[in-house]
Amino acid sequence: MILILALVLITFVPELTAQDKSTESDGQLSEQDIASELSNPVGTVWNIVFQNNLTLLNGDISSKDRVRWITNFQPVMPVPLTRKWNVIARPILPFISAPVPLANGNFDRQTGLGDFTFQTIFAPNKKSGFIWGVGPLFGFPTATSRGLGSSKWTAGPLALGVYASPSFVAGALITQVWSYAGKSSREDVSAASLQYFAVYITPSAWQFGVGTPIITANWEADDDDRWTVPIGPSIGKLFNVGIPLQISLEASYAVIHPDTYGERWNFRLIVKPVIPGLVKKPIFGR
């Protein structure tokens, strides 16, 4: 992942530097504006999210097997459909290292790719005020090890609501997925998630608040293992390293979590370099 980030920076620095100078001269986007756009899931700035999660699990598990690591590689690509509507494409590819329980009660640490997800959000072309969005999401069984994925094809709807301004962004993204195909020997998938966020952004592009904890519900699990409800703070800053680059840190504690190998603590490092938008003019109705 670090190599990919380095290649992106090397490739796009010249173009983005010129783009930044043009933006400054036009007075269109300040650092605070860019930070606000990057904190908004339906923002209009193209970027790549490198989300690194270190999770401490609970349950009858040894200390060496208590840690799970997930790095999500997630490009965010807003495309103007018309002058009033955007479609935001958000592919998500996870790289996972996690302890997987075995039938004999021991654990086997497996490392590799997880299941690929593709989210599509249709939203009004707005930079501030209340913004809503809806769309489908699809999951593909791309995991390289049995314990790192569901072995199921999944699909479902998503919806979100966001209030955005240069100094404050808050909202929530709700999803629900079901499995419709895949290995019959694996459990069906029916799961919901609620990702909530609220951050205050200073004129110098520091941000403070609640980052992006995700409440999840596994409807196929027993009641004691169904819900995960994390809460916690976040801090972040937008830097100019030839391109705008946002770095944020989050910590959350799951006040409700599965009894069996559930999430207890999660520590998250998010790096978001801005990249050039490949589609800048409306596809329809130019």
Fold designation for 31-237+248-273: Porin (2.40.160)
Over the Cα atoms of the chain, what is R_g?
20
Distance CA 27, CA 25 (A): 5
The string of pLDDT tens digits covering residues 233-253 is: 999 999 999 999 999 999 999
pLDDT given for residue 209 in this prediction: 97
pLDDT given for residue 260 in this prediction: 78
The rounded Cα 23 to chain-centroid distance in angstroms is: 27
pLDDT given for residue 60 in this prediction: 64
pLDDT given for residue 114 in this prediction: 97
pLDDT given for residue 286 in this prediction: 61
Distance CA 18, CA 255 (A): 47
Distance CA 76, CA 197 (A): 17
pLDDT given for residue 58 in this prediction: 83
Vertex 78: Cα angle to 20 and 44 (nearest 5):
50
Q: Are 100 and 110 in contact (CB under 8 A)?
A: yes
Q: Which amino acid type is present at position 191?
A: A
DSSP lists the bridge partners of residue 181 as 153
pTM listed for this prediction: 0.87
pLDDT given for residue 224 in this prediction: 85
DSSP lists the bridge partners of residue 179 as 154
Domain boundary assignment for the chain: 31-237+248-273
Which positions ≥6 away from 31 have C-beta within 8 Å?
A: 203, 204, 205, 238, 240, 244
Burial of 51 (C-beta count, 10 Å sphere; 0-12/13-18/19+): buried
The DSSP line for 208-249 is EEE---EEEEETTS-GGGSEEEEE--EEEEEEESSSEEEEEE
pLDDT given for residue 61 in this prediction: 66
Distance CA 174, CA 195 (A): 6
Q: What is the pLDDT along the chain (286 residues), one digit of tens a residue?
A: 433 443 443 344 344 443 443 333 334 689 999 999 999 999 999 999 999 999 999 866 666 678 999 999 999 999 999 999 999 999 999 999 999 888 777 888 999 999 999 999 999 999 899 999 999 999 999 999 999 999 999 999 999 999 999 999 999 999 999 999 999 999 999 999 999 999 999 999 999 999 889 999 999 998 889 999 999 999 999 999 999 999 999 999 999 999 878 899 999 999 999 999 988 899 987 6
* Cα distances (Å, whole numbers) of residue 93 to 45, 59, 247: 20, 27, 20
Q: Are 104 and 86 in contact (CB under 8 A)?
A: no
Percent of the chain with pLDDT over 90: 74
pLDDT given for residue 17 in this prediction: 40
Give the three-state DSSP class for 127.
Answer: coil
